[in-house]
Structure 1
Amino acid sequence: MGETVTREDKQAREQKALREMTDRLVADYADTHSARQVEDVIAAAVGRFEGHSVRDFVPILVERIVRRQLSGTPEPTEFVAAEPVSDEPTGAGRWRALVSPPWTVRKLALPLGALVVVAIVAIVVGTSGTSTSPAPAAAAPTVIRGVVGSEKSAFFADPKVVYAFARNGIRVEAEPAGSRQIATSVDLGKYDFAFPSSAPAAERILRQRNVTAKYTPFSSPMAIATFAPIADLLTRAGVVRPGPTPTFDMGRYLDLIAGGKQWDQLPDNTVYPVRKNILVSTTDPRTSNSAAMYLAIASYVANDNTVVRGATAEEFVLGKISKLFVGQGYSDNSSEGPFAQYLSAGMGPTPLVLCYEAQYVEAAAAGRVTPDMVLMYPSPTVLSRHTLVPLTPEGDRVGRLLTTDPELQDLAAAHGFRTDDPARFSKVTDANRVPVRKDVIDVVDTPAYDTLEHLLDGVAKSYN
């Protein structure tokens, strides 16, 4: 017996073919059309097939329609079809009914597959009127604007993600910004949704906008990206515990910082004998969520492994942790900057870089991680819960789709994020052989929103 092909199998094949076609057309028309223009034309063409139960040739036909439109070639107003040689209701004979008048039917000596394709073309552009009337254009996708944490820029720019939204009649225009900027200084009145990288930043937006709806479609633990020689050096210094996924001991690290150690003062340091402070490179805590998450980790450890609560505890930890930031010099406003430097510049300027685990996994899947690069997990760490706050009903559509659409959830995992289904993330990391922790257990809570704000304000004052 032949293999049974389910409707879900057919849908998956169609989506895969359409994604591959999107990549191909974006590349073919790069000189004359932007990727967004190509994707919009594809979305409109796909919309012309809504409701058609026979889907086998949809990707082929969409590509023909799109190439005609992008090349400025008018669609034909008369179509040639042919009667099939079989009358089986589920076989090619089915096309006889589909290409009956008003379309012109002629017999031609063509292979059956070609005849069926021609027949479907007639279906696509034909109407119930005359044979010379083109089909009405599909409605343009609804444009929905959002401001998102910069670490999600690649996700929203991915043509596969663009297509997944287009299937639902949506075009998302995502503008990047630092997550704390999103919560504190960005004019949210221009957007349909805000999508910072943590629950505390989202909480501030919820308070400001007096809304309660929120979505957390994925998350990512904070991690530290380094290089094998640096990991070995810090292992000898007692800061790193080796293993398949090394552990960066935050308590030992803070002790090292308190003692004012510099890199060239570490014993047996022949790999990085530079005269500068041993600091993890972060973003600017005044604007960026990743630095705020690092502050949450450090404040917990500095407060005798307890979440900071109250003014006394805040003052107690600020003196210990402010130097983690002010000693760095210039810091980027978003996590994209320091991690990009880590990937491109080597360990010279950035021996230790705070990042989202998702950034490292995404880079590894793209082949940008070299054999000497190492991902470490702080002990403890915090989980950055990427939380979308809808500001309009349209923004709510994006939040629901990101949370419930299986294709978008798969694509989030492909970009390194952890969804509610751990199997999605494991599939990506296993396929790309990225050494990550399947279960991140040593996770602590972030301080309450007001406490974290007080700590961030205290660090900001230290810059002066």
Structure 2
Amino acid sequence: MSGDTLREEQAIRRTTDHLVQVFAGTHSAEHVESVMQAAYRRFDGLPVRDFVPVMVERIARGELTARVEAPAPTESAPTESAPAESAPAKPAPAEAAPAKAAAPTDAAPSGKPADVRPETTTAVAQPAAVLARMPSRKVLLPIGLGVAVVVVAAVVVVNLGKPEAPPPPPPLTVVRGVIGSEKTAFFEDPQVVRAFADKGVKVEIESAGSRQIATSVDLSRFDFAFPSSAPAGEFIQRKRKVSTKYTPFSSPMAIATFQPIADLLTKAGVVKQGPVPTFNIGRYLELVTTDTKWDQLTGNSDYRVDKNVLISTTDPRTSNSAAMYLAITSYVANGSKVVHGATAEKNVLPLVTQLFTSQGYTDNTSEGPFNEYLTVGMGPSPMVWIYEAQFVDAVTRGQIKPGMVLMYPSPTVMSKHTLVPLNASGDRVGRLLSTDSQLQRLAAEHGFRSADAADFAKVAADHQVSVATDLIDVVDIPSYDTLEHLLDSVGKSYG
């Protein structure tokens, strides 16, 4: 089953659960599920699937609501009985058909007229019934007009029997944004698309490395920029002269690895086991500076390869996650102090440069190395530098296999996803992401830590993923200018 199919079916399941709660007082859970599945089957075979969950919910909600709101029997005003000598006119065949269609299901057996009392006659049955009771001597309508009345009565009966069509959705305002790739799955989630649509917004996105967004992407084409760090957001604010920013969610940096690697590094004193494994950056840098290879580690029987012990990252020239890696390693290399000033930059530069150039090729965005981790295994990349949100999101989508492990670097940094609005439409998206409870909950389902910590904790508990509940060993990021100096210097070493 593809990832898109899995996400679609999960969206249908969540929508079904929601409608079961909404209609709990009027429909059984089994009936709601049956209506949802029937609506879902209407879209079998369609190649474009982006809005299928949205349309399925609309159809199912319309049918369920129509049944709840169907007009109940109402009292009708009693009609004068015809004089005894005036026999009621026999209804024409054209009249009889709609009246019969509208008759209640508990009508009398065939051949015996049902006892229809005026006070229980429904609005649906009234037009034909009233015509049937009119005295024949007073029906002096021309033939053409009589036929017209019968047709109108039939139309009324038929139309009143149909559920009212749901109102058309309001026109959507299209808002375009450029985002860090790690948020792509969130914005493409059908639940998120529907949540925005309910607010009258359709968000169209393009993804890029966060540093690319800040330095080289043409932002004039977009309504908002949404990089993955505060420094990148700060630079965009400066460049575009924007005073407003939103930080709707954040994610600590983490390391995706495999159990044999975690066990091996535990013996080497790099990893400390616990409720969640922690990765000692100081001890790791000692292995890097001594050019230690995997097959030189004591007790290594699972990953005997002649490669340096290194974490795989993204390209520091384009990606925010690589910049966060540089921020942490430079902090430790600088004697556990945030790097500031030319002297400190010069002292840490040789080591942090080695951390990147020794890797060889690196991807522009964090999506690339993490997808390789999920699909290829520990052969090419035994340790991958990621956002915590990526791992949690992969757990919720069933992509994490047995033996895959999440570790937290010690120290770590919080990557604050910062949205910079470039106009009023972009500001609207920033406000919705920051204040709408449904969007905040959905962000947590994609692994992001939002304003309500309980949302993230519930997602982790529901999916049994071990995460750091109290992040204590968190350090500050260097200023934007210092970080840029270091990144530019590392970039020049690539040639």
TM-score w.r.t. length of structure 2: 0.74
Match of 2:48 in 1: 34
Q: Does 1:276 align with 2:271?
A: no
Residue number among 354, 365, 370 corresponding to 1:323 in the alignment: 354
**Residue 60, structure 1, aligned to residue 91, structure 2:** no
Aligned to 1:396: 427
User: Does the Cα contact within 8 Å between 1:250 and 1:379 map onto a contact in 2?
Assistant: yes
Partner of 2:418: 387
* Residue of structure 2 equivalent to 1:302: 333
Q: Does 1:337 align with 2:340?
A: no
Deviations 1:62-114 (A, max 9, x none): 999xxxxxxxxxxxxxxxx9752478xxxxxxxxxxxxxxxx99844369xxx
Matches within 5 A, 1:34-183: 34-36=48-50, 38=52, 58-60=61-63, 83-85=71-73, 107-109=102-104, 122-124=163-165, 137-183=168-214
From the superposition, tell whether residues 291 and 24 of structure 1 become closer, same or farther in structure 2 (CA, over 3 Å). Answer: farther
Question: Which of these residues, 248, 253, 259, is aligned with residue 279 of structure 2?
Answer: 248
CA shift for structure 1 position 59: 4.3
Name the CA distance, whole Å, in 2 between partners of 1:27 and 1:336.
33
* Structure 1 residue identity aligned to 2:298: P
Q: Secondary structure at the match of 1:322?
A: helix
Quote the residue 1:376 is aligned against: 407
Please say if residues 83 and 107 of structure 1, whose CA atoms lie closer than 8 Å, have aligned partners that are also in contact.
no
For residue 84 of structure 1, what is the amino acid of its counterpart? A
Aligned counterpart, 2:493: 462
Which deviations, in whole Å up to 9, do the C-alpha atoms of 1:332-361 show, x marking residues without a partner? 100001011111111111100000000011
Cα pair distance change 1:408/1:29, threshold 3 Å: same
8 Å contact from structure 2 (residues 39, 56) kept in 1: no
Q: Aligned partners of 2:161, 2:284: CA distance in 1, in Å? A: 66
Asked whether the 8 Å contact 2:66–2:164 carries over to 1, the reply is no
Once the two structures are superposed, residues 403-439 of structure 1 have per-residue CA deviations (whole angstroms, 9 ceiling, x without a partner) of: 1111101100000000111100000000000011111
How much does 1:35 deviate?
3.0
Conservation of the 8 A alpha-carbon contact between 2:278 and 2:410: yes
Amino acid at match of 1:29: F
In the alignment, residue 35 of structure 1 is paired with which amino acid? R
**CA RMSD between the two structures:** 3.2
CA distance in 1, matches of 2:492, 2:172: 46
Provide the rounded CA distance (Å) in 2 between the counterparts of 1:166 and 1:26: 20
Residues of 1 paired with 2:249 and 2:214: CA distance? 19
- Residue 20 of structure 1, CA deviation: 12
The match for 1:356 is 387
Gaps of 5+ in 1: 1-8, 47-56, 65-80, 88-103, 126-134
% identical aligned pairs? 56
Paired residue for 1:54? none
Structure having the higher Rg: 2
**Counterpart residue number, 2:113:** none
User: Matched residues in 1 for 2:324 and 2:468: separation?
Assistant: 19
Q: For the residues of structure 1 that align with 2:384 and 2:214, how far apart are their CA atoms?
A: 24
Distance 1:10 1:231 in 2: 40
Cα offsets for 1:111-149 (capped at 9, x unmatched)? 9xxx9xx96965446xxxxxxxxx7x4443111111111
Q: CA deviation at 1:268?
A: 1.7
Q: What residue identity is the alignment partner of 1:447?
A: P
Cα deviation digits, residues 429-464 of structure 1 (max 9, x gap)? 000000111111110010000000001001101212
| Residues 264, 274 of structure 1: 8 Å contact kept | yes
Aligned to 1:99: none
The alpha carbon displacement at 1:22 in A equals: 9.2
Note the C-alpha offset of 1:370.
Answer: 1.8
| Corresponding position: 1:435 with 2:466 | yes
Q: CA deviation at 1:23?
A: 9.8
Which of 325, 329, 342 is residue 311 of structure 1 equivalent to?
342
Change (3 A) 1:261 1:179: same
Unaligned runs of 5+ in 2: 1-16, 76-97, 107-123, 125-158
Q: What are the Cα deviations for residues 135-165 of structure 1, in whole angstroms up to 9, with x where unaligned? A: 7x44431111111110000000100000000
- Could you say what secondary structure the match of 2:332 adopts? helix
**In structure 2, do the counterparts of structure 1 residues 304 and 199 end up closer, same or farther at CA, with 3 Å as the change threshold?**
same
Give the CA deviation at 1:58: 3.8
Shift of 1:13: 4.0
- Give the equivalent residue in structure 2 for 1:91: none
- Structure 1 match to 2:3: none
The residue number in structure 2 matching 1:199 is 230
Secondary structure class of the residue paired with 2:318: coil
Alpha-carbon deviation of 1:364? 1.0
Equivalent position SS for 1:153:
helix
3-state DSSP of counterpart to 1:35? coil
Tell me the TM-score normalised to structure 1 length: 0.79
Match of 1:422 in 2: 453
Cα distance change on mapping 1:245 and 1:40 into 2, 3 Å: closer
Alignment-mate amino acid for residue 204 of structure 2: E
Q: Judge conservation of contact 1:19–1:163 (CA < 8 Å) in 2.
A: no
After superposition, give the CA deviation of every residue in 1:281-328 in whole Å (9 maximum; x if it has no partner). 000010001000000000100100000001111111111111111011
User: Whole-Å Cα distance in 2 between the matches of residues 276 and 348 of structure 1?
Assistant: 11
